[in-house]
């Protein structure tokens, strides 16, 4: 436990190592989380688009769409 | 179909694949285990002082030596840079010289691993790098301090004796 | 018989659990950070750097856990052709890859102030680096082909073959002389105390002092480690479900497009 906030940041002189560790760790985890959600959202909207176009259109239109 | 005879070609193929994967993994594991046990000496990260004194180390080559810093053995030479200390495993000790910066964990009784070569006389190990080996014991600083106050701390007893006798650890002071 | 191998049914259960897992993960993570960074003591040797252990050990644990999930999924895909097996492996691989990287980076940032070096080629560090490369290799193989059906089999074989590395990581510190210390948490399972003292370069009197404390890891340090382990594990499950959902959507998308192309 620390006496002051300054001590907390300094981490007994090991601040750079400890804060870099925690920063990179949680940074990596957050990036992974965001990337996972974004991938799924992108796929879902593509899926919805495709299903909608298939329901309303015949094959030629859908064919041109899938080449994008 | 699923309730039909188990002898269907698909079921047989599944069985073949299962056996293949299991046997393949087992074979691979056995091969790896054999290779590793054959390599064990080469993969060895460091040699102990006993192995060094018995000559079981690569001759004329760079290798690592690991052990505890013998209590009270560390001194700085006249040049003011080179430190010499003995690395011990309890039964044998090897003299090590080192001119670089010691890790902050370095002190009497600490586990260290030094990289270097035996000199021509095979009596001294000339280190190019000294690393501290941390053990798997963790303890809060306050607990250790409390134990020292209560006199139940055994860890640095020998160090305390040396400090009490006036010959403080010169290597630690400089580091 | 294959009720649980049905992807959509599996996902229904998994998605129902998702909000509960999030509700569990956030307080666990917050408590882990509070105890890990603030309300826990400094170590008598490592001083404050001991706090790196609270994220290093869980990420090592989860990188290996993710690999086991990936290998089991791949094995079930190879043997029974379960499509879900391949999807689980594809979902677990990037997670394990990131955790392996976190483990290596945090370990290296701990090693510099403690050992005196960022990296050494000892058996534990090297086998962990190989685990990271196995994840990279799997990801490269699984995504190398335009037609993913061509990449899934070689990738699955790599995942199954690479499983031999997991026991190597675990036992490297017992089998070889390493700079990396032995396991504190699960160490008792593999070695007796005096053995650890002799081969692990532990000072015998310190070992005795630790035994006097009852454990090699005192409760004040065990608590943040356990909280972080639990939080990271739940976080892994959340990520797995999220990524699985994405993989499943990808497969549906592909099937739809293939159907359109054929029609």
Q: Per residue in A19-41, pLDDT tens?
A: 999 999 999 999 999 999 999 99
pLDDT digits (tens, 9 = 90+) for C2-46: 555 577 788 889 889 999 999 999 999 999 999 999 999 888 888
Whether B149 and B163 share a structural domain:
yes
The predicted structure's pLDDT at residue C174: 85
- The share of chain C scoring above pLDDT 90, in percent, equals 58
The predicted structure's pLDDT at residue B34: 83
Angle between helices C123-142 and C165-175 (to 10 degrees): 170
Whether B23 and B68 share a structural domain:
no
Nearest to B134 among C80, C181, C196 (CB): C181
Q: Which residues pair with B125 in a beta bridge?
A: B96, B118
What is the b/e burial string over A11-47, where b = at least 16 CB atoms within 10 angstroms of the residue's CB? beebeebbeebbebbeebbeebbebbeebbeebeebe
- Choose the weakest-confidence range: B97-101, B136-140, B157-161: B157-161
User: How sure is the predictor about A56, in pLDDT bands with cuts at 50, 70 and 90?
Assistant: confident
Q: CA-to-CA distance for B168 and A49, rounded, in angstroms?
A: 78
Instruction: Report which of residues C256 and C202 the model is more confident about.
Output: C256
The predicted structure's pLDDT at residue C146: 75
Mean pLDDT of C253-262: 82
With beta carbons less than 8 A apart as the criterion, state whether C25 and C230 touch: no
Question: Mind spelling out the 3-state secondary structure of B52-82?
Answer: HHCCCCCCCCCEEEEEEECCCCCEECCCCCC
Q: How many CA atoms lie within 13 A of C91 on its CB side?
A: 29
Encoded tokens for C49: 């750097």
Whether B24 and B58 share a structural domain:
no
Q: CA-to-CA distance for B145 and B136, rounded, in angstroms?
A: 19
Mean pLDDT of B117-125: 83
Statement: residue B163 has pLDDT above 80: no
Whether B35 and B72 share a structural domain:
no
Encoded tokens for C186: 């699960």
The predicted structure's pLDDT at residue B139: 82
Would you call A21 and C249 a contact, using CB atoms and an 8 Å cutoff? no
Residues in chain A within 8 Å Cβ distance of C238: 33
Nearest to C110 among A11, A17, A51 (CB): A17
Whether B67 and B17 share a structural domain:
no
Would you call C48 and A62 a contact, using CB atoms and an 8 Å cutoff? no
The predicted structure's pLDDT at residue C210: 53
Nearest to C249 among A2, A40, A62 (CB): A40
Whether B65 and B19 share a structural domain:
no
Whether B34 and B90 share a structural domain:
no
Mean pLDDT of C108-131: 92
Check which CATH number belongs to the domain holding B57 and give it. Answer: 2.40.50.140
Residues in chain C within 8 Å Cβ distance of B142: 41
User: How sure is the predictor about C100, in pLDDT bands with cuts at 50, 70 and 90?
Assistant: very high
Identify the domain containing residue B9 by its residue range: 1-43
**In whole angstroms, how far apart are CA C77 and each of B7, B18, B148, C69, C213?**
21, 10, 59, 12, 48
With beta carbons less than 8 A apart as the criterion, state whether B68 and B109 touch: yes
Mean pLDDT of B99-126: 86
What's the sign of the alpha-carbon dihedral C44, C46, C49, C51?
negative
The predicted structure's pLDDT at residue C198: 37
Mean pLDDT of B36-46: 76
Max CA pair span of chain B: 90
Whether B151 and B74 share a structural domain:
yes
Whether B114 and B30 share a structural domain:
no
Would you call B139 and C213 a contact, using CB atoms and an 8 Å cutoff? yes
Nearest to B45 among C53, C75, C177 (CB): C177
Would you call C256 and A11 a contact, using CB atoms and an 8 Å cutoff? no
CA nearest to C249, candidates A32, A41, A64, A52: A41
Q: Which chains touch C (3 or more CB pairs under 8 A)?
A: A, B
Q: CA-to-CA distance for C109 and C52, rounded, in angstroms?
A: 8
Statement: residue B158 has pLDDT above 70: no
| C72 touches B at CB < 8 Å | no
Mean pLDDT of B153-166: 52
The predicted structure's pLDDT at residue C215: 57
Residues in chain A within 8 Å Cβ distance of C47: 12-14
CA nearest to C33, candidates C218, C217, C215, C223: C223
- The mean pLDDT value of chain B amounts to 79
User: How sure is the predictor about C195, in pLDDT bands with cuts at 50, 70 and 90?
Assistant: very low
Statement: residue A57 has pLDDT above 60: yes
Statement: residue C139 has pLDDT above 60: yes
The predicted structure's pLDDT at residue B166: 42
Q: CA-to-CA distance for C53 and C56, rounded, in angstroms?
A: 5
For residue A9, the distance in angstroms to the closest alpha carbon of chain C comes to 10
Whether B53 and B138 share a structural domain:
yes
Give the number of B-C residue pairs with CB atoms closer than 8 Å. 159
Whether B75 and B128 share a structural domain:
yes
Q: CA-to-CA distance for C192 and C185, rounded, in angstroms?
A: 13
* Total domains present in chain B: 2
The predicted structure's pLDDT at residue B53: 86
The predicted structure's pLDDT at residue B175: 37
Would you call C105 and A63 a contact, using CB atoms and an 8 Å cutoff? no
Whether B81 and B148 share a structural domain:
yes
pLDDT digits (tens, 9 = 90+) for C161-189: 999 999 999 988 888 888 898 888 765 54
Mean pLDDT of C218-231: 94
């Amino acid at each position: 436990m620390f006496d002051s906030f300054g001590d907390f940041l300094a981490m007994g002189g090991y601040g750079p190592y400890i804060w870099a560790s925690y920063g990179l760790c949680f940074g990596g985890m957050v990036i992974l989380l965001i990337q996972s959600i974004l991938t799924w959202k992108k796929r879902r909207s593509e899926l919805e688009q495709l299903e909608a176009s298939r329901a309303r259109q015949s094959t030629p239109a859908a064919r041109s769409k899938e080449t994008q | 179909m699923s309730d039909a005879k188990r002898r269907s070609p698909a079921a047989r193929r599944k069985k073949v694949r299962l056996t293949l994967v299991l046997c393949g993994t087992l074979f691979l594991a056995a091969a790896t285990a054999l290779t590793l046990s054959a390599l064990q000496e080469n993969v060895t990260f460091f040699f102990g002082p006993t192995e060094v004194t018995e000559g079981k180390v690569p001759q004329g080559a760079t290798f690592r030596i690991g052990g505890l810093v013998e209590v009270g053995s560390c001194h700085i030479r006249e040049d003011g840079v080179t430190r010499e200390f003995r690395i011990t495993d309890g039964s044998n000790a090897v003299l090590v010289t080192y001119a670089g910066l010691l890790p902050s964990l370095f002190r009497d009784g600490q586990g260290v691993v030094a990289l270097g070569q035996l000199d021509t006389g095979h009596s001294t190990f000339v280190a190019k790098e000294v690393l501290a080996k941390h053990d798997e014991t963790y303890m809060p600083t306050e607990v250790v301090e409390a134990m020292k106050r209560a006199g139940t701390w055994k860890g640095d007893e020998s160090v305390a004796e040396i400090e009490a006798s006036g010959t403080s650890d010169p290597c630690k002071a400089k580091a | 018989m294959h009720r649980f191998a049905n992807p959509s049914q599996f996902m229904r259960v998994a998605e129902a659990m998702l909000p509960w897992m999030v509700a569990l993960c956030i307080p666990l993570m917050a408590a882990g950070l509070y105890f890990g960074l603030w309300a826990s003591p400094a170590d008598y040797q490592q001083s404050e750097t001991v706090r790196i252990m609270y994220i290093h050990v869980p990420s090592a644990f989860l990188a290996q856990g993710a690999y086991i999930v990936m290998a089991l999924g791949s094995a079930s895909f190879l043997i029974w052709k379960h499509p879900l097996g391949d999807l689980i492996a594809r979902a677990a691989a990037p997670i394990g890859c990131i955790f392996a990287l976190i483990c290596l980076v945090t370990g290296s940032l701990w090693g510099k102030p403690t050992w005196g070096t960022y990296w050494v080629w000892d058996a534990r560090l090297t086998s962990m680096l190989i685990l990271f490369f196995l994840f990279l290799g799997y990801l490269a193989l699984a995504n190398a082909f335009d037609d993913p059906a061509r990449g899934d089999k070689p990738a699955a074989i790599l995942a199954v073959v690479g499983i031999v590395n997991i026991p190597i990581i675990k036992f490297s510190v017992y089998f070889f002389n390493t700079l990396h210390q032995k396991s504190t948490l699960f160490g008792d399972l593999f070695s007796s105390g005096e053995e650890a003292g002799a081969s692990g370069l532990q000072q015998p009197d310190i070992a005795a002092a630790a035994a006097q404390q009852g454990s090699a890891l005192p409760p004040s340090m065990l608590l943040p480690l356990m909280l972080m382990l639990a939080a990271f594990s739940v976080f892994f499950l959340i990520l797995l479900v999220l990524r699985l959902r994405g993989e499943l959507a990808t497969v549906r998308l592909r099937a739809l497009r293939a159907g359109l192309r054929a029609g």
